[in-house]
Structure 1
Amino acid sequence: MFSALGRFVVGHRWLVIISWLIAGAAVIATAPALTTTSDQAEFLPKQYESIQAQKIQQEAFPKGFSPSAIVVFTRKDGEPLQKADSARVAKIGESLKAEKYDKVEEVITAPPSPHKKVQTVLVSMADVKAGDKSRQHTVEDMRDDLKSLVKDSGLKTGVTGDAATQLDAEEAAKRADSLIFLGTIVLIIVLLTIIFRSPTITILTIVGITLVSQVANGLIAISAKAFHLKADSSVSSLLIVVLFGVGTDYILFLMFRYRERLRCGEDPKTAMATAVGRVGEAIASAAGAVIVCFLALLLSSLSFLTSMGPALAIAIAVTLLACLTLIPALVSLMGTKVFWPSKAWRHEPRAARFGAIGRGVARRPGLFVVGSGLLMVALAVGALGYQPVFAPEEKMDASNESSVATHDMREDLPAGSTNPSTVLMRSTNGEKLGQRELKTYIGDLKKVEGVGSVTRSQLSKDGRTAEFSVVLTADPAGNKAMDIVRGPLRTTAHEAAPPGTETKVGGVTSVFVDIGKAVNRDFSVVFPTAAALIMLILAFLLRSLIAPVYLMVSVALGFGATLGATVLLFQNIRGEAGLTFFLPVIMYLFVVAIGTDYNILMVARLREEAKEGLGPREATAKSIQHAGPTIAAAGVILAGTFASMTLANDVTLAQTGFAVAFGIVIASFVMAMFFTPALTTLFGRAAWWPRRIGPRVPPQGGPYQEERQPVPADGHGGYAPHRSGDRRD
């Protein structure tokens, strides 16, 4: 099939190129803007308590006061606020109220903090649909006006709260995307130029993937709108590294084989058609493994993962299609000029290092299995200390106004004051809630360890629903606050409720608690499903029932080693509270799926050499010598593109970038280079069971000399001996 595809693409290259340009222009022109959301509550299904509390709140208090922005006032000299300062704050609050900002419903000036270090103005805004930026624009206008309102007053001000935090997060994400994009492009330019010594291939790769990325983003936006998918703001950064990293890898797979066929004497058109036929199945299988892994996220209970999965799957599918059609068409059109100005493509390098590695693994496969296996097991031990966090540890960033304002608030207010938990009590017998019972209930909530204060913030008009604001002493996004909500707060809120009522605990901390439950559920569903689908792809590619099993064992060890190394770096060495809660899912998908790519490339080459008649040890030596440079180059480029995510001043992106980059290094330089070929050598021909692959019998009927060095000569799979010293890479 892939041989036929290669011949068609090369024979109709202008048709392929023009079709891509027309289809790409149509998609880009008609695609809507991709909207994102950072509201964690939107990611949970309705059966969780935090979402049920939110629903009760919306029904009972449709116009209830909930601050979307908090204006924080402190003195510049750090001294307590004086009466004149508080009067000035109240006046500023009235000025903000009089401005009639878009979406602002109410402005309330709160009293000074207990030690008069801080005073706040609370701003309530109307709810908006996903993608509506009006609340962020209001925060921008408010910040501009506050500069003149506090001028020469001795006061320092800053705006925080959900709307301000989202505005600052989006601006930080834009800066991060720019840094990641720049870092990725620079890395690809440098590495491709070193590998091929040709700026032409580098430009072709970047231009081709840029077109692919625009088409992929357009298709993702169209799909998101058609199927009402919600995308987390982090998906844009992932798309950059996935498209450029994986796309470059696939182009490398193709170009290495194309160069190999040219060195065998084939003309450029025949060489490209043969290259697609030879490596197309491996690329398609590798992409298929990644795609099914991402689509397994559709089984997740978190909507941002169910949206991320199809988005990344679309990106990989478009990249695969381009690498098997558009890139071959362009390269066959350019011929050997694609390597300009280098002429190194004409000569066979000795590949001495990879040849030595291949011979070493072939001679002592057991030693390499044990050595590489123990390395991965030792690193995996670190995974036992894994701690999830549901919001990055907040560190004051002078360039982030909401971060500075939040830090100032916590100087004299409980940590939970930025995002209080809410307890909703609703009558279930139709009776109104009694004042005495409500007062007693507040007293019970105050007794919970970790609760700083409790107030009844609202009572519905019909008297049947009450809302209580619970300020925790711990950071509302931290593990300590989650333990309080998960344990004593929810237990007390439910058990202390008067007869004939029901209670639900809501708020940001409660949302994080429920996200934790959802993630644990997803671990038990998504992981095994993705593994089973990958095994099916491997079984289909290799026509074997044995090889897929130990390949998945290899990938599982790689995953454990990656998680362990990430825990050791970020939790033990850098002292962070934990890893982003969804990081194991992302790691599993990328390390398992992309790690399988390199295993597929190596095992496909092992099978190819075995089919040509080489014994297990000789096939291993040849496969590492020939496929090793490709895997090493691809691993360095892909790991480097993910490592570029650490350039962003964002803990989540840094953890994700390091984890996936490290996992790719393990996959390419430990699993695919040593563990997998060594295991295949030990299994011998049994690795391909139930398919029988035996040594080739020469036509003369004489014994086959396994040490002879075959080289492709006719472009149709035939091999012929070559002169001593010649090598393929």
Structure 2
Amino acid sequence: MFGGIGRLAVRRPWLTILAWIVVAVALGFAAPQLKPTSDQADFLPSSYESVQVGRLQEKVFPQQETPAAVVVFQRSDEGKLTAADRADLREVVSGLRDRRFDRIKSVKADAGSVSPNGRIALAGIVATVDDPYDTGVTESVKDIRAALKKLLTGTELKAGTTGPAATALDSQESAGDTDAMIMQATLLLIIVLLLIIFRSPLIAILPVLIIGLTFVVATGLISTAVEAGGLQADSSITAILIVVLFGVGTDYILFLLFRYRELLREGHDPRPAMSEAVGRVGETIASAAGAVIVAFLALLLSSLGMLRAMGPALAISVAVTLAAALTLVPAVFSMLGRKAFWPSKPWRTRPRHRFAARAGALTARRPGLVAALSGGLLAALAVGVFSFNPAFDSESSLPKDLESVRAGQDMQRGFAAGQTDPSWVLLESEDGGRLDRADLDTYRRQLAAAGFGEVSPAVVSPKGDVAQFGVVLKVKPASDRAIELAAGPLRDTAHRAAPDGSRALVGGTSALLADIQHATNRDYSVVFPVAGIAIMVILGLLLRSVVAPWYLMLAVGLGFGATLGSTVWLFQDIRGEQGLLFTLPVIVYLFVVAIGTDYNILMVARLREETGRGRSPAEAVREAVTRTASTVGAAAFILAGTFGVLLLAENSMLQQMGFAVAFGILLTAFVMALLLVPAVTTLLGRRAWWPGGRNPSAGEGARPDGTEPHEPVDAVARSAT
């Protein structure tokens, strides 16, 4: 089938290229743009308590206003505020009120805004929209900061802004344009590495143009699906689409070009060589893409709305990339023929691949030793997983000199850490009747006696059937301790103390993060196994074996553990971070497990092909490693280098993401795909292909009798044995 697809694209190259351009232009003009959105209604299912609290608050207390940001005032000498300071403070707040800021409803400061110790005063900035991360709100916070500098001139006061909108602003400014940085780094790495590998400007530039065209088609299809109502996605997915498309796109192009170049060296004409290259590696590319697609689609089983929306969109992008690899790439390069390699001449002769040949020879000669060392390394690194501590406090990852971080620390000199972001306890009558005031007072005393923090008086709904209490925790709402309190003691106390005939619900930031943590853990236990089983089925179909998929997935599991464990060792144990980004396992799953599996598939498909040609297991491993190492290495360096750029960011969570993916890809490529998998395959011998028999495949491009029409054998690989 794949040979036929390749022949069709090669025979009609201009028609194939024109069809892709027409589709890209049509989607570029006709498809709607992906829009930013802040709708998190489906982030968690409604069964979670924090979501129920949020919806009940919107229904019963629509007038409730939570500040999007907070201005923290103090004296320049950090002493107690004097009467003159308080007068200046009122004038500054009045000055802010008099100015018009986009999407800012009011600036509030009352008698209770001064701390009990008299050193700190607060002013709440209330937005006209519910989302504190709205771009208009964050820009207004930036304007408010500039206005404060002028208004504070001539006073003894200094001020800083903190809170969600201020933290979001500082996060954006400290990270810079991450999307642009990733895109530029990706393009530069692809061009430079392809130029080094092929020594041809055309081959360095054309893959970038092809993937760019693929990106237009993929985003057009995704946005069309969103508009039709069958898919949920927004513009925030653009950054991850860039990495996925360039990652898998470069992999598939390299898989094809390396085999194409190999056939040209053997004397084939360009067009037959490209057709045969598609026939030989087309199934491998399709299987690799299929593994990535099912891994992404498994995210549909997630209970987190963000991941459910991400999965299908990424699957569409990989499917489009697969179609381009099997049609557009063959059409472009077959049309150019040998001119694609201009002005390079060394491409005509086989490189010596000294390192790869030695690695293949060692694996063939001592497979037990190689398997023990490579597997042992991955297992040792994976031990760090047991110390993994998910962190939800994004502010703690920011540089300490940012205004929102400093202002948040200053606020705690006068107020409890949860002052501006309390946990909410709602008491609701089960029969819809009015709640008794005496019961509410008793309930408040019981909450206060538990010692979680200050408890505000009950605010009762107009119907009297719902009462709300604010619990100001003594610890930061996003800290591990606050999440533990919300998930356990606070909820237990609130539920147990609820008067007869009523039910208690606990919400707020701490409770929401506790529910997200629970949902994330649930997703790990469901999504990962389902994806693993689906990938095993694909591997079984590709290899016609029920044995190989098992050890391949065990190797993938080791690689996942080693990647996460290494990140724990570096950031938690060596650098002393309190925890790692809570979504890091999902990120490793997306980019290391899903995309990195490409390298395993390429290697094991080549092993099967070489075995099918009649070679012994040792000879097959030697030849497969020698032939495949350059492809795997080039693809891995490009993807790892793309994420490695994030190590330059000041945000520690971006650094964690960059290191985990970059290091994980390198482990997958150079330890797992080039050492562990070939070594285990050698140890198992022909049993690895059971029930495929002694000749698991006639080999793509082989004669019907199983013999090979052209059997190149690497001289260096021979001499190394």
Shorter-chain TM-score: what band? over 0.9
SS at match of 2:455: strand
Describe how 1:361-440 pairs up with structure 2 within 5 A: 361-392=363-394, 394=396, 397=399, 400-440=402-442
More deviation, 631-640/641-650: 641-650
Q: Which residue of 2 aligns with 1:97?
A: 97
Q: Indicate conservation of the 8 Å contact 1:184/1:244, yes or no.
A: yes
2:150 aligned with 1:148, yes or no? Answer: yes
Q: Indicate conservation of the 8 Å contact 2:358/2:717, yes or no.
A: no
Q: Which residue of 2 aligns with 1:25?
A: 25
Q: Indicate conservation of the 8 Å contact 1:348/1:726, yes or no.
A: no
How far 1:462 sits from its partner (Å)?
A: 2.3
2:678 aligned with 1:677, yes or no? Answer: yes
Q: Which residue of 2 aligns with 1:265?
A: 267
Q: Indicate conservation of the 8 Å contact 1:331/1:338, yes or no.
A: yes
Distance in 2, matches of 1:180 and 1:724, equals: 38
Say which of 262, 275, 278 aligns to 1:276.
Answer: 278
Say which of 220, 223, 226 aligns to 2:225.
Answer: 223
Question: Quick one: percent identity of the two aligned structures?
Answer: 50
More deviation, 604-613/578-587: 578-587
State the Cα RMSD in Å: 2.8
2:251 aligned with 1:249, yes or no? Answer: yes
The alignment's TM-score, normalised by the length of structure 2, stands at: 0.93
Say which of 169, 185, 192 aligns to 2:194.
Answer: 192
SS at match of 1:253: helix
CA deviation map 1:215-245 (0-9, x unaligned)? 3233333333433755588644322322222
Q: Which residue of 2 aligns with 1:454?
A: 455
2:341 aligned with 1:351, yes or no? Answer: no
Distance in 1, matches of 2:124 and 2:701, equals: 75
Q: Which residue of 2 aligns with 1:490?
A: 491
Q: Which residue of 2 aligns with 1:544?
A: 545
Distance in 2, matches of 1:221 and 1:542, equals: 36
Describe how 1:528-607 pairs up with structure 2 within 5 A: 528-607=529-608
How far 1:283 sits from its partner (Å)?
A: 1.0
SS at match of 2:503: strand
CA deviation map 1:130-185 (0-9, x unaligned)? 99644344434434433432233343333333333344445556522222222222
Instruction: Specify every segment of 5 or more residues in structure 1 that has no aligned partner in the other structure, as ranges.
Output: 698-709
Distance in 1, matches of 2:408 and 2:236, equals: 23
Q: Which residue of 1 aligns with 2:321?
A: 319
Distance in 2, matches of 1:156 and 1:259, equals: 67
Q: Which residue of 1 aligns with 2:213?
A: 211
Q: Which residue of 1 aligns with 2:121?
A: 119
SS at match of 1:453: strand
More deviation, 29-38/359-368: 29-38
Distance in 2, matches of 1:657 and 1:372, equals: 23
Letter aligned with residue 62 of structure 1 = P
SS at match of 1:504: strand
Distance in 2, matches of 1:554 and 1:723, equals: 29
Q: Which residue of 1 aligns with 2:709?
A: 719
How far 1:400 sits from its partner (Å)?
A: 4.6
Q: Which residue of 1 aligns with 2:504?
A: 503
Q: Indicate conservation of the 8 Å contact 1:388/1:581, yes or no.
A: yes
Distance in 2, matches of 1:230 and 1:654, equals: 29
CA deviation map 1:15-65 (0-9, x unaligned)? 111111121122222333333456767511100000111111111111112
SS at match of 1:719: coil
Say if 1:319 and 1:116 are closer, same or farther in 2 by CA, change over 3 A.
Answer: farther
Q: Indicate conservation of the 8 Å contact 1:358/1:624, yes or no.
A: yes
More deviation, 154-163/203-212: 154-163
Distance in 2, matches of 1:722 and 1:218, equals: 44
CA deviation map 1:483-511 (0-9, x unaligned)? 11112111111111222221111111100
Q: Which residue of 2 aligns with 1:63?
A: 63
Q: Which residue of 1 aligns with 2:51?
A: 51
Letter aligned with residue 7 of structure 2 = R
More deviation, 298-307/594-603: 594-603
Distance in 1, matches of 2:628 and 2:460, equals: 70
CA deviation map 1:54-83 (0-9, x unaligned)? 111111111112222222223334333322
SS at match of 1:417: coil
More deviation, 148-157/415-424: 148-157
Instruction: Specify every segment of 5 or more residues in structure 2 that has no aligned partner in the other structure, as ranges.
Output: none
CA deviation map 1:171-212 (0-9, x unaligned)? 556522222222222222332222112222111122222232
Distance in 2, matches of 1:162 and 1:660, equals: 28
Q: Which residue of 2 aligns with 1:525?
A: 526
Q: Which residue of 2 aligns with 1:700?
A: none
Q: Which residue of 2 aligns with 1:75?
A: 75
How far 1:340 sits from its partner (Å)?
A: 2.1
Distance in 2, matches of 1:251 and 1:183, equals: 19
More deviation, 89-98/201-210: 89-98
SS at match of 1:122: strand
More deviation, 426-435/191-200: 426-435
Say if 1:712 and 1:433 are closer, same or farther in 2 by CA, change over 3 A.
Answer: closer
CA deviation map 1:98-124 (0-9, x unaligned)? 446454444420421233332111132
Distance in 1, matches of 2:320 and 2:457, equals: 54
2:227 aligned with 1:237, yes or no? Answer: no
Distance in 2, matches of 1:333 and 1:696, equals: 31
Q: Indicate conservation of the 8 Å contact 2:361/2:717, yes or no.
A: no
How far 1:682 sits from its partner (Å)?
A: 1.6
More deviation, 472-481/288-297: 472-481
SS at match of 1:591: helix
Say if 1:527 and 1:156 are closer, same or farther in 2 by CA, change over 3 A.
Answer: same
Distance in 1, matches of 2:697 and 2:614, equals: 4
Q: Indicate conservation of the 8 Å contact 2:546/2:690, yes or no.
A: yes
SS at match of 1:342: coil
Q: Which residue of 1 aligns with 2:167?
A: 165
Q: Indicate conservation of the 8 Å contact 1:555/1:591, yes or no.
A: no
Say if 1:231 and 1:130 are closer, same or farther in 2 by CA, change over 3 A.
Answer: farther
Say if 1:723 and 1:593 are closer, same or farther in 2 by CA, change over 3 A.
Answer: closer
The alignment's TM-score, normalised by the length of structure 1, stands at: 0.92
Say if 1:424 and 1:411 are closer, same or farther in 2 by CA, change over 3 A.
Answer: same
Say if 1:164 and 1:498 are closer, same or farther in 2 by CA, change over 3 A.
Answer: same
Q: Indicate conservation of the 8 Å contact 1:613/1:696, yes or no.
A: no
More deviation, 339-348/142-151: 142-151
SS at match of 1:511: helix
Distance in 1, matches of 2:289 and 2:696, equals: 31
Q: Indicate conservation of the 8 Å contact 2:475/2:481, yes or no.
A: yes
Q: Indicate conservation of the 8 Å contact 2:280/2:701, yes or no.
A: no
Q: Which residue of 2 aligns with 1:706?
A: none
Distance in 1, matches of 2:174 and 2:275, equals: 45
CA deviation map 1:373-432 (0-9, x unaligned)? 111111111111111112335256477543343233233322212321111112224443
Q: Which residue of 2 aligns with 1:659?
A: 660
Say if 1:233 and 1:330 are closer, same or farther in 2 by CA, change over 3 A.
Answer: closer
Letter aligned with residue 78 of structure 2 = G
The number of residue pairs the alignment matches comes to 714
Say if 1:128 and 1:524 are closer, same or farther in 2 by CA, change over 3 A.
Answer: same
More deviation, 400-409/250-259: 400-409
Letter aligned with residue 719 of structure 1 = P
SS at match of 1:157: strand
Q: Indicate conservation of the 8 Å contact 2:444/2:458, yes or no.
A: no
Say if 1:387 and 1:227 are closer, same or farther in 2 by CA, change over 3 A.
Answer: farther
Q: Which residue of 1 aligns with 2:8?
A: 8
More deviation, 719-728/487-496: 719-728
CA deviation map 1:614-644 (0-9, x unaligned)? 1111111111111122112222222222222
Q: Which residue of 1 aligns with 2:445?
A: 443
Q: Indicate conservation of the 8 Å contact 1:179/1:648, yes or no.
A: no
Q: Indicate conservation of the 8 Å contact 1:416/1:471, yes or no.
A: yes
Distance in 1, matches of 2:393 and 2:242, equals: 23
